[in-house]
Structures are given as structure tokens and as C-alpha cells.
Structure 1
Amino acid sequence: PRPRQWRRKAGTEEAEEPRSIHDVPDDLLRQILLRLDSPLWLLRAACAYRQFRRAVASADSGRSFLRLASSLHPPVVVGHYHNCRVRPIAFVPSLSPPAPPIDGGRFALDFLPRSITTTTDWEVADCHGGLVVLCNSQNSPSNLIVCDPLTRRYQGIPHPLEKLAGFVVALLDGDGDGNISISNFRVLYHCFHGDGAPRQVCVFSAADGGDGWRFLRRPSAGSYYIGHVAGRVDGSIYLGSVTGNVRVLDNASMELSEVYLPIGIDKSKAPRISTFTVVHGAGANPTSPPSTWIIHVHGEELEFYRRVRGGSGSGGEWVLEHNIPKLSEVARGLLAGCPEERLEVYVIAVGTGTAVLSAGDRDERKLLFSIDMDTKKLAPKESLSPDEGDSHQFTYTLPWPQLLQACPS
């Protein structure tokens, strides 16, 4: 239809001028841009129009806007890195919606030296903020490399002091403003002294001079930094232990604290390890924080905890939302030949509001299932590679453009 003509107000002699995008206040424009659920669309909006760029990246309010936009949307999953047994590290693009239209070849690690990309000695240890940290599994102490697939840059990390053997725990945000980049990152490293000496944890900082290593003091509660990376929530890293508890490591203070989960599984009935995985999903509406879950797996029993904001803690509390007492019974009707005996279940990959479960029986058969975190419905999933069901996959997410700056022109 033709646009409605602007009419002259009663008592005035001049007609109102037609309004344009120039008349939209920056505050209202930011509320519109907050609905963009991907940093790709935010970057394109900033590049398309000077007013959009000013609203997104102005010196006075741009940084706070980007932080708010990041907190309101789950990380954008573009794919997963696989540590393969018989071939080098592989990147598999995400097929789960809303997967961004990105060429998966852009995330290949072929820019690294051939001694790394042509052998199976190197493994991915963690992914965070657009960076990937790799370690050499054949060396003790391990060589470390941090790389940025988007910029195709990488940096080798020297051994810790005294060449202590150990393993990489996690990538951490850089010092200062909390951003992470190839020139500003930290790596958490768990050290083994040997000869019965107490273990220690040290942190490498790319922003420090010299070798960049410093040791952390031992937690007062007697707990350790050791644990697999369960995920990240609000800038803090969650570490899950096989004994069945979760600790959160504050990114700024490097202090550990316990996470209370109302675990209902009776672990005394089956001497199996516990694993924990954090999964993010879209919020109830575009301006609400993303939903966050923790999946607890013990044998073939699963529990799903949802984070409820406004609880007793400063960041909310975790409540038990759903449980699956026996996955083999639930999955029996989904796949022909699903074993009736007890399974060993692992979460091998996560997406936006989804997770991939690998269930194995005593004959070492692997069954893959995807699970929707909102509905808790299981669906059979076909394997994309021979090794997909055998090892953990490392989720690669796009970094939010926190360093976006407006040009004066």
C-alpha cells in the first residue's frame, strides 16, 4: 500500500515532515538491535549505516551495550573440534538451528605448522571466546599452542617454571577489561610435582612479560582446581569433578566456590563417575537472559538442572527440572537394537539449546542421541565421523565483538 500522507495539524500552517531513520533516538535503536541474536548481524548492522555504528560502538555507551547484548543471547555455536584417534584434529560445522551461514573451512587449523596438523599427537584441550588451546599429548610437560582460527594467528606457550608436568584445565579471559584475544588470554594449568609433593595450579597470561606463569595459592576449603570444564556462566568457569560436585572459578579473582546442585541420584548403588555439562539456550524473549542448564550424568542416569535467577545466590540457584532414571528404557523405542543392559552415557557435544549424548554398551556399540533442552525429548542422531561417538567434542562459539569501535567518519 501507498504510505499514508502526513496531514497538517489543526491550528498549524506547516505540514509535518515525513520521518526517517535519522529521527529514531539511539536509545530506541539499541532496543531494536538487542533483538539481533548473533554477532554477525550486529557487525553487519554496524557496517551498513553510520547511525547504527554510533549506537552500537559509541565511546560513551557502546561498551555497555555490547556487554548487555552478549548477556542476553546464548553463545553462537558454529561447530565442534574432534580429537580423532587415527587422523588429525577435525572441525565439523554445526547443523543444528540456528546455525549461522558460515563456511566450515574457515575454521580448519591448516595455518598451524605441519608438525601439528599432520599427526595425532596434538589434541584440543579447550575452546573459549574464539580461541583454541592445543597440547601435545606425547610430551611431558606438554607443549602448548593457542590459536585464533578467525584471524589465523597462533602463539606458542613456554613450559611452566621448573618444567612441571601437567595438563591444561581451561582457557580464561585476559587480564584487564575481561576480553579475550590472541594477545590477551590466560591458560589454567594443573601441575604434577611427583614424589608425593602437593599438586599446584599455575596460570599463564599472554599480557605478562617474561614467561608469563604465576602460581595460584591453594584454596582454603581444601578443594582443588582440578576438574573437567563443564562450561561457562556469566564469565565464570564451572569445573565438574568425578566425585559428583561442581565448583565455580571466578574469572577475575581466581577464587573457587561450591555450586549447590540438588542431586537426587543415589551414587552408592553404582560405582560410576559423574560428569557435568553446561548448556545454553535462547531466553523466553529477545530481551531476556538465555536459559542455562547443567546436565548431570551418572552411568545411564541423567538429571537436568535449570538456573533460576533471583534465587538465594547472587546469580540465582539451580533447581532439578527433569530426570531420566534409565536411558536404555527411554531409548528402546527410538532405535532398533538398542541394548537392554545398562549403558555408559556421555555428553559429547552441545549446541544452542541442544546436547548430543553418546551411549555405549558392553559390546562397545555407540548410539548417538540429540536432546532438546526445553522439551527433554530424545531423537536418534547419525554419526558424522567414525570417531564422533568415542570422544568429547569441543564446542567452538563465535566471540561477541566486544572490541568494536566506531570510526569518526
Structure 2
Amino acid sequence: MAGAAAGETQVPDDVVDEILVRLPSRSSLARAAATCSAFRALVSSPRFLRRHRARHGPCPGALLGSFAFSSEGGAFHPAEPPHASAAAARAVAAAADFSFAFLPPSPVVGDDDPRRGLGWIVRDHRDGRFLLDRVASLDDNVFPELAVCDPLSRRYVVLPPIPRELAAAVDRPLGVIGGRRRCEPFLAPCDADAESEPAFAVIWTARCPRKVVAFAFASRDGRWRALPSPECFVWSRHRSPFGCPVHAVWNRRFYAHGCFYWLDCLTHRWLVLDTRAMEITVKQIPSPAGYWEEHVAVVEGEDGKVGVFAHDFYHAGGEACLYYYTIVNGGDGPRWRLERTVPLPWPAAHGRPYSIRAAANGSLILEVSHGTPAFMTSYRSRDVELYRIDVKSFELEMICRARCAAGDIAWAYFGFPPLLSLPTV
């Protein structure tokens, strides 16, 4: 091995390679890379990283921070010290282009042109990839142009348009993100073949008055196909004027163990998209009384269980807490089972200072806004703290402080420093 001192037994490079490839995680590889330049060069090579992924499977990486998207743009908020991933997060923030300036530019138009400002906007993030879309005009908001990109490697793929024969099934779709779009595209997990080019999958959905229409795109074959979905599915017809608006249901999507979930707590219905069968179904899962959709998040529980974090609208005793449930099957069908109560350190006597922001990889992300109740900060910019709770330890861990724009959407950003990252596109 290069760098061995005189008189020392030199270990062949192929033996070192076999030893390092057996390290169980990329965090172990990072520690090995810090010991000498020879190890660093080995573990950072794409060939070695592909072998490591093939042996140990895909890994979401460490929580590096949060990516917040709003109608004004987006920003990456890296984890801050004393968080264990602070150094890696700083490296990602310095190396990546989170302005997405490497995407195809939009046409240059004049100040009075109605197309001004119709550039790329972020729609989703998963496993280091971002999904963006853009429209050619304000009226063309049902089938926007879609692109999947990797801001770290600056690679991107523009997806082909949805074929007309599939698009014909979309009838009077309802608006999302403030009416700016009438579709909800998002990234789906895709089994990674370590010996081939990176693969990804995109799901496109639209909520029509009588059904949900969904199409799936797989990068391996470059084709769109329709997904089976329930007929006569009318969400808004069952909503209460005193409950959360229907867009609160549709815009809050969660992933756990191969399925995406949308929850309608008022009617006890879950819309479920199974990414293995590529099929959408509706399930009746009665929820405890008093929860609104903004107060609930689905997470990947341990042992393949579907977990749910929830909190009350008002804490009568003044002590804030979260409730953690798992979905279990009983004689009467699936139901919520309370597993534990998670106390929170913030007093809630005169208003709840926290809100659920996101859920990913068995973790819940909380936003804390000191001095102002969380439900009063939704429509203006604010300085917040972001915290994480995972389903293994249930310990509260601070990630970072951030300046959040009004009405933004936050995702937990998991990944690796540039040294240990493979292109995701």
C-alpha cells in the first residue's frame, strides 16, 4: 500500500480495498478516509462507492440540514454545530448549486410580458435529487415541463411530456400550491442497481372532481404509464367548513415502507399509493378525535411498521408533547395504537410554539418559533429553529436556525459530503 514506512509490512491495495468495502456505512468510510491520503483516494472513487452500495444497499445518508421551498425560491439550511453532521453539511452547501442555475434557462422576456417569472420551481426532493417544473404560460399549469436534477453533481434530465392518450384522462383538476399548479408531481424511491447508471422514478398526480389520476415515469425505460386509482373519489364533498381545507390534505404527503400516504383525519380515510404494486387505494383507518391534518405526520417505524406522530391543537395543561402511534391490524380493521408520549421542552400555556414541518427516513422535523404561536406564523417570514425526533431514540436534536419565507415547504435533507457522494442523476 502506498505510504508504508520502511520495515513495515505492506498490505496489497486489493486487500485494503476488500477490507474497506466491508465497513458497514459511509460514515465509517469517512473516518477511514481521514486517516491517510491513500484511503481517501480509494473510498472516494466512484467504482469503490458503487461496490460499497452494492454490498450494503442504498443508504439515505446523514441528516445534513433542511431545504425550504417557497413561491419566492428555495434555500438550503445546513446543520449547525454541535450537530454531528455540521462539517459535512457545510461542504455540501459550498459545493452544490441550490439555485439550480445549471438547468436550461427560461426564455428572456420583457418586464410587461405575462411569462415573466415563470421559471423553474422546486416540487420535491428525495435521496439527493430534486424535481422541478416550469410552465410556458399562466394557463398551462396542468402539464408543466419536468426536470430531475442533482445540485451536487449539477446533472439533470428533462422528462418527456406525458403522452396525449394518457393526459386525456385528466378532467378539471383542482389547484395546488395556491392555484399556481393543477398537478402534484413527486419523486418515488427507485431500487438502485449499483453497476448501472443512477435510476429514478417520478409520480405525477392530479385530483379531479371524481377521481385521482396518476402517472408514473421510470428513467430506466423513459416511459410514462397510467396507475390504477379509485373511481368516484371526492374528497371535498366530505369536508367540514370547520375542519382543515382540502388543500391541507392534498399537500401533505408522507412516505413509509414503500407507500405514499395522504391523510383525511376528518373522514378517517387514507389515500395510499403503493410504489411496489403501483396502485392507488383508499383505506378506512379511524383516527383519534381532535387531530387535524397539519398536526399529523406518517413516518417509517421500526420493524416495518407505519408510525404516526400527532399533537393536539391546544395543550390544556400547558406542557407541550407529541404522541407516537403505530398502525396495527385488529379484528375491526386497521387502527391507531398509542406507543408513547414524547414530552417537549417548550411551554404551551398561551399557544403552541412548534409545528410539524416534514417527515423522512424515520425522522420527524419540527419547526419552533419562539415568542409567537406556530399557527400564527404561517403567512409571514420568520426566524425559526429546526429540530429532529427519530423513532429509535425519541430524543430531540437541534438541526439549525433558519429564516423561513411565508408559506414555504421544508424537507429534511439527507446525504453525504462531496467526497462520498455519487451522482444521483
TM-score range, shorter chain: 0.5 to 0.7
Q: What one-letter code is carried by the residue in structure 2 that aligns with 1:168? A: E
Query: 1:76, 1:352 within 8 Å by CA — same for their partners in 2?
Result: no
Cα distance in 2, alignment partners of residues 305 and 48 from structure 1? 42
**Equivalent in 284, 302, 324 of residue 305 of structure 1:** 324
- Structure 1-normalised TM-score? 0.61
Distance 1:238 1:352, change over 3 A: closer
C-alpha distance after superposition, 1:276-297 (max 9, x if no partner)? 15379xx9xxxxx999964335
Matched, 1:275 2:296: yes
Cα distance in 2 between the residues matched to 1:223 and 1:401: 43
Q: How many residues align?
A: 349
Instruction: Go from structure 1 to structure 2 and tell me whether the alpha carbon gap of 1:151 and 1:272 turns closer, same or farther (over 3 Å shift).
Output: closer
Which secondary structure does the structure 2 equivalent of 1:214 belong to?
A: strand
Retained in 1: the 8 A contact 2:298–2:359?
A: no
Stretches of structure 1 that go unaligned for 5 or more consecutive residues are: 1-16, 284-288, 333-337, 405-409
2:141 maps to 140
Counterpart-to-counterpart distance in 2, 1:125 and 1:191? 14
Letter in 2 for 1:170: F
2:101 matches 1:110: yes
> How many Å separate the matches in 2 of 1:370 and 1:113?
33
Q: Within 2, Cα distance between the matches of 1:50 and 1:345? A: 43
Instruction: Pick the aligned partner of 1:127 from 125, 128, 132.
Output: 125
SS of residue paired to 1:65 = helix
- 1:228 counterpart letter in structure 2: R
Counterpart amino acid of residue 111 in structure 1:
F
2:227 aligned partner, one-letter code: L
CA distance in 2, matches of 1:92, 1:170: 21
Alignment equivalent of 2:224, drawn from 189, 196, 213: 213
CA contact under 8 A between 2:43 and 2:49: conserved in structure 1? no
Give distance in 2, aligned partners of 1:32 and 1:367.
43
1:66 shift after superposition: 2.7
Would you say 1:66 and 2:56 are equivalent positions?
yes
Equivalent residue, structure 1, for 2:276: 252
- CA distance in 2 between counterparts of 1:147 and 1:215 reads 23
Distance 1:22 1:402 in 2: 26
SS of 2:225's equivalent?
strand
The answer to whether the Cα contact below 8 Å between 2:125 and 2:411 also exists between their aligned partners in 1 is: yes
For the residue of structure 1 that corresponds to 2:94, the secondary structure is: helix
Q: What residue in structure 2 maps to residue 393 of structure 1?
A: 410
SS at match of 1:241: strand
Cα separation, 1, equivalents of 2:270 and 2:17: 40
Distance change (3 Å), C-alpha of 1:370 and 1:94:
closer
* 1:323 is the counterpart of 2:310: no
What per-residue deviation string (whole Å, max 9, x for no partner) do you get for residues 175-229 of structure 1? Answer: x756799863221011355xx55331111223335xx211011259979996633
Question: Structure 1 residues 140, 324: closer, same or farther in 2, change over 3 A?
Answer: same
TM-score (norm 2): 0.59
Q: How far apart are residue 322 of structure 1 and its match?
A: 3.3
Radius of gyration: which is bigger?
1
- Tell me the distance in 1 between the aligned counterparts of 2:376 and 2:48: 55
Residues 303 and 324, structure 1, Cα contact 8 Å, conserved in 2: yes
**Which of 150, 153, 159 lines up with 1:151 in the alignment?**
153
* Identity within the alignment, %: 17
Matched, 1:81 2:67: yes
The CA distance in 2 between the partners of 1:351 and 1:58, in whole Å, is 21
* Inter-partner Cα distance in structure 2 for 1:53 and 1:112: 26
Partner secondary structure for residue 106 of structure 2: helix
Alignment of 1:159-238 (within 5 A): 159-162=161-164, 163=167, 164=170, 166-174=182-190, 184-192=199-207, 196=209, 198-209=211-222, 212-218=223-229, 228-233=252-257, 236-238=258-260
Letter in 1 for 2:220: A
CA RMSD of aligned residues (A): 5.5
Shift of 1:32: 6.1
Q: 1:47 to 1:312 in 2, by over 3 A?
A: farther
For 1:125 and 1:42, locate their aligned partners in 2 and report how far apart those are by CA, in whole Å.
36
Contact persistence 1:148–1:182 (CA under 8 A): no
* Residue aligning to 1:266: 289
Partner in structure 2 of residue 356 of structure 1: 366
SS in 2 for 1:151: coil
Please state whether the residue corresponding to 1:29 is helix, strand or coil: helix
Distance of 1:271 and 1:344 partners within structure 2: 15
Q: 1:39 to 1:242 in 2, by over 3 A?
A: farther
Aligned partners of 2:133 and 2:147 also within 8 Å:
yes
Q: Post-superposition shift, 1:390?
A: 4.0
Q: Distance in 2 between matches of 1:133 and 1:295?
A: 26
C-alpha displacement at 1:143, in angstroms?
2.5
Structure 2 SS opposite 1:299: coil
**Residue type of the alignment partner of 1:201:** A
Compute the displacement of 1:104 (Å): 0.5
Query: C-alpha displacement at 1:150, in angstroms?
Result: 2.0
Unaligned runs of 5+ residues in structure 2 are: 1-6, 109-115, 174-181, 236-248, 316-320
